Amino acid sequence: MDSNTPVPDRSVLEQPDIARVLTRIAHEIVERAKGADDVVLLGIPTRGVFLARRLAARLGDITGRPVPVGSLDITMYRDDLRLGPARALARTDIPGDGVDGRLVVLVDDVLFSGRTVRAALDALGDIGRPRAVQLAVLVDRGHRQLPIRADYVGKNLPTSLRETVRVQLTEEDGHDGVFLGQRADTPAAER
């Protein structure tokens, strides 16, 4: 392979792995929430919404009752809006009973710097006052810039800052997978 050839992404999780970790996370939520009676799942767009829906289905299978699920757009709460091009607003969809006094589990695909979660907490504060807030992520790749940690983690994946973590889900991408690759601007000598 010459120095200009990109290094192919390495598969870290495949469809069966993702299904298995979501089932494990669902069981952990039920255990920690003592039955999940007051749990509300809010996915952070885009892939966090799909993961939240999958988790809600698994929680429903475990508990025998539906678990409210929605989405939480954080676009206007991000601290990097001025650093890039304009972003399209996503949809915020709060279940009918709201979040006040409930245990809200925020769901996202990758936890990195913590800034997305901080924005989600700000957005959630404008919607209501949950009893508690927890965080479930498919992948925790480290490199936190804020004091935020996930309560439920599918896979801890230590990475370098030169690496990327790419999550693909059937609902958005046609198949499930988590891939580790090199940033496009990584010098060939460091690949």
Confidence at residue 183, expressed as pLDDT on a 0 to 100 scale: 86
Confidence at residue 187, expressed as pLDDT on a 0 to 100 scale: 56
Residue 5 lies in a domain: no
* 79 three-state secondary structure: coil
Confidence at residue 34, expressed as pLDDT on a 0 to 100 scale: 94
Report the CATH number at residue 24. 3.40.50.2020
Q: What is the pLDDT of residues 134-155, one digit of tens each?
A: 999 999 999 999 999 999 999 9
Residue 113 is part of which domain span? 10-81+89-190
Separation CA 124–CA 116 (nearest Å): 12
Give Cα separations from 96 to 43, 84, 93, 111, 179 (angstroms): 16, 34, 9, 28, 36
Residue 2 lies in a domain: no
Q: What is the pLDDT of residues 120-135, one digit of tens each?
A: 999 999 999 999 999 9
Q: What is the pLDDT of residues 52-80, one digit of tens each?
A: 999 999 999 999 999 999 999 999 998 87
Q: Phi then psi for 140, rounded to 5 degrees?
A: -110, 115
Residue 46 lies in a domain: yes
Residue 112 lies in a domain: yes
| pTM for this entry | 0.91
Residue 1 lies in a domain: no
Name the domain count of the chain. 1
Q: What is the pLDDT of residues 108-123, one digit of tens each?
A: 999 999 999 999 999 9
Sheet of 69-71: strand order equals 69-71, 39-43, 103-111, 132-140, 152-156
